[in-house]
Amino acid sequence: MTKRTVSPDSPAHRAVFAVTSLVPQFPAPADIPATGVRWVLVADQGVAIHDGENPQVYTQACPPQPGLVEYLGQIGTAPCYAAEQTKDIPLPEGWVVAGVRELYGRIPDEDVAVASFAVRMIGAAKTSRFCGRCGHETVPVLAERAKQCPSCGLVTYPRISPAIIVLIARGEEILLARSPRLPAGMHSLIAGFVEPGETLEHAVRREVGEEVGITVKNIRYFASEPWPFPDSLMIAFVADYATGEIAIDNNEIVAACWFGRDNLPELPKKLSISRALIDQWVEHKIPLA
């Protein structure tokens, strides 16, 4: 792997879902304070927002009879919690449920990140309520973000699933592909989960070979982004085409082609790291071989 890198500090590379306004101070409070708390109400895969001219994602009032409750951290001096909004309890007046993606552009990015984090932590709490080794109900670990089994002692941390995504350049063209999961007409970059025992670079080479049948060289790091759908960590790379002809797998990929700057297809939304990669290439900010 070469030592050439692409700086992730440009505003175009700012990860929308990276939680920067939230400080995870531990140990977590043993009891929820009676006042001065910020709450994020999580409903299914969305959050409640106070709709209107200036939408708000935080409420100061403790939700009545919440389901799961998870400590998120501190925003300034205020502790912040996620609370599961159960279906049998009505939302506060003026509040509606919105998906996390729908919040982009409607509220500050820092609040979008906290909202997505709240959804993620409630989801993690649902999947770690019982010990995976002995089946006993778990309890929170106040010293860190984890659950522990009081019976066998197993500690369970929120799941993080590393995945690579790569922009492949060939001269003045890049390779874009269509997954059957994308909206009609939309193309994106090659991506896939890292398997046990792999380096990130090996995962890049394997995914590219499996999905489009070519080989790449000069792999270099671009940036990373937590992707809370539900628990991915996207690690982005740039690579140069080496050899081979495109041969799609007709499973993960149903179409792939080389595109120039003047004939790009429909692309993912700007909140994604895939779009950040493509935009930086379009603006000639990614060094080529």
Domains in the chain, start-ordered, CATH in brackets?
38-127 (no CATH), 132-157 (no CATH), 160-282 (3.90.79.10)
Residue 1 has pLDDT above 60, yes or no: no
pLDDT band at 9 (very low <50, low <70, confident <90, very high): very low
Instruction: Give per-residue pLDDT as tens, 205-257.
Output: 999 999 999 999 999 999 999 999 999 999 999 999 999 999 999 999 999 99
Name the residue among 114, 121, 122, 116 with its Cα closest to residue 85: 122
- Give the Cα separation of 88 and 105 in Å (integer): 30
Q: How far is CA 84 from CA 7, 116, 118, in A?
A: 38, 13, 9
Better-predicted residue by pLDDT, 115 or 34: 115
- This prediction has a pTM of 0.89
Mean pLDDT of the chain: 92
Residue 36 backbone class (left: φ over 0; alpha: ψ -120 to 50; beta: rest): left
- Give the Cα separation of 109 and 244 in Å (integer): 41
Which pLDDT does position 288 carry in this prediction? 63
